Amino acid sequence: PFDVLIVGGGPAGAAAAIYAARKGIRTGVAAERFGGQVLDTMGIENFVSVQETEGPKLVRQLEEHVKQYDVDIMSLQRASALIPAEEAGGLHEIRLDNGATLRSKTIILSTGARWRELNVPGETEYRNKGVAYCPHCDGPLYKGKRVAVVGGGNSGIEAAIDLAGIVKHVTVIEFADSLKADDVLQRKLHSLPNVDVITSAQTTQVVGDKQKVTGIEYKDRNSDELHTVELEGIFVQIGLLPNSEWVKGTVTTSKYGEIEIDAKGQTNIPGVFAAGDVTNVPYKQIIIAMGEGSRSSLSAFDYLIRH
Ligand code: FAD
């Protein structure tokens, strides 16, 4: 059995693996896809102390760093269930899709999250070519340009307010007949000169010239008419889905499905910790996920020396 078993190999899991292995304890990482969301990222300009890098390059460096230590990396392994230890200090079990079971005194859940997609023509084709999901990451790339934010909930309106300070013009596109964001955000949004809001609008297509995005097409849900807004960027803000379905009912999750943790990164189950985008810690970023992953391993070590 392991002392620390990390489920998920994104930045949170990689940082957790390095911190655990450096304590000289038996460390394993089971991950469906080592690197996680970072593999899907092109330019990264906010990984502090590295001015500019690319996702696949950062993943290679993460893997090399983890491999400096005695860590059992189990790739292409999808976890399907967590069976908690019967008493504190006992062994927790992780069931894998392939039928195998892994046992460990402590577990770190770092299975990340995925952006909910529009599922319209052009979205996949123009991802990273005008279709973006993270305003903190990609906002500055659209300085002086026109963008849309799809989604009028809190994250969409926060994104629109943030982007309005950087870009030339923001069009907010909301499916329902009104915005869902908090009033204070809506008031702030309406005070900005370079923002338009379109409600009852169903996004139907990402329009492009084969190289990059040139517009967004939507259907007016009242008249069924199609309209196209010319622009250079589309930020999709219709939800971030935590990869926590497989622990639901065992580990406490928020109404958004995020695993709830305390200040040390521990879940409701003693010896089971969580880190990164799968948790209820706000702001989903690489550097934050790494910090959380590191903390969860230090907490797991602290747990181990007491049990
Ligand atoms: P993830 O990176 O999501 O990793 C999750 C890991 O868990 C993966 O290894 C996955 O395969 C695995 N996994 C999931 N379910 C299971 C399961 N059941 N069993 C086993 N393994 C499982 N952040 C920035 O700071 N800067 C940026 O510029 C930036 N740009 C981004 C661009 C894009 C397109 C996207 C999608 C995200 C971007 N982010 C950026 C956000 C950043 O990638 C995430 O915050 C970060 O990767 C979260 O790390 P994580 O380790 O928590 O989860």
CB-ligand 1 contact for 123 (6 Å cutoff): no
CA distance 284 to 56: 19
Q: Provide the whole-model pTM.
A: 0.94
**How many A from CA of 290 to the centre of ligand 1?**
11
Contacts 24+ apart (CB under 8 A), 207-216: 207/122, 208/122, 208/125, 208/126, 208/129, 208/130, 211/129, 212/126, 212/129, 212/130, 213/122, 213/126, 213/129, 213/130, 213/131, 214/130, 216/148, 216/150, 216/171, 216/173
295 close to ligand 1 (CB < 6 Angstrom): no
pLDDT attached to residue 56: 95
| CB of 41 shorter than 6 A to ligand 1 | yes
Distance (angstroms) between ligand 1 centre and the Cα of 199 equals: 31
Cα–Cα distances (Å) from 106 to 132, 145, 251, in that order, read 36, 48, 14
Return the pLDDT at 88: 86
Residue 246, φ and ψ in degrees, nearest 5: -75, -10
Residue 242 has a pLDDT of: 98
Burial of 127 per CB tally in 10 Å (0-12, 13-18, 19+) = middle
Instruction: State yes or no: ipTM above 0.90.
Output: yes
Cα–ligand 1 centroid distance for 112 (angstroms): 5
| Among 75, 80, 87, 5, CA closest to 33 | 75
Residue-level pLDDT at 42: 82
**Is the CB of residue 248 less than 8 Å from the CB of residue 84?**
no
276 φ, ψ (degrees, to nearest 5): 90, -160
Query: What is the reported pLDDT for 69?
Result: 98
CB atoms within 10 A of CB 168: 14
Q: Residues comprising the binding site for NAD(+)?
A: 146-160
Q: If DSSP codes are grouped into helix, strand and coil, which group holds residue 14?
A: helix
Divide the 307 residues of the chain into consecutive groups of 10 and give the mean pLDDT of each group. 98 98 98 96 93 96 98 97 95 97 98 96 96 94 97 96 98 97 97 98 98 98 98 96 97 97 98 98 96 98 97
User: Using a 6 Å cutoff on CB, does residue 152 contact ligand 1?
Assistant: no
Closest residue CA from atom 15 of ligand 1: 111
Q: State if residue 62 touches ligand 1 by the CB under 6 angstroms criterion.
A: no
- Token readout for 42 is 């092109």
Ligand 1, atom nearest to 79 Cα: 19
Binding residues for FAD: 3-18, 267-277
Q: Determine contact, residues 179/199, Cβ cutoff 8 Å.
A: yes
CB atoms within 10 A of CB 90: 14
Q: Is the CB of 40 under 6 A from ligand 1?
A: yes
Ligand 1, from 6, 73, 111: best to mutate by most atoms within 8 Å of Cβ? 111
CA of 115 to the centre of ligand 1 (A): 10
58 Cβ below 6 A of ligand 1: no
Whole-Å CA distances, 227 to 92, 129, 156, 207, 233: 54, 21, 21, 11, 17
Closest ligand 1 atom to Cα of 33 = 11
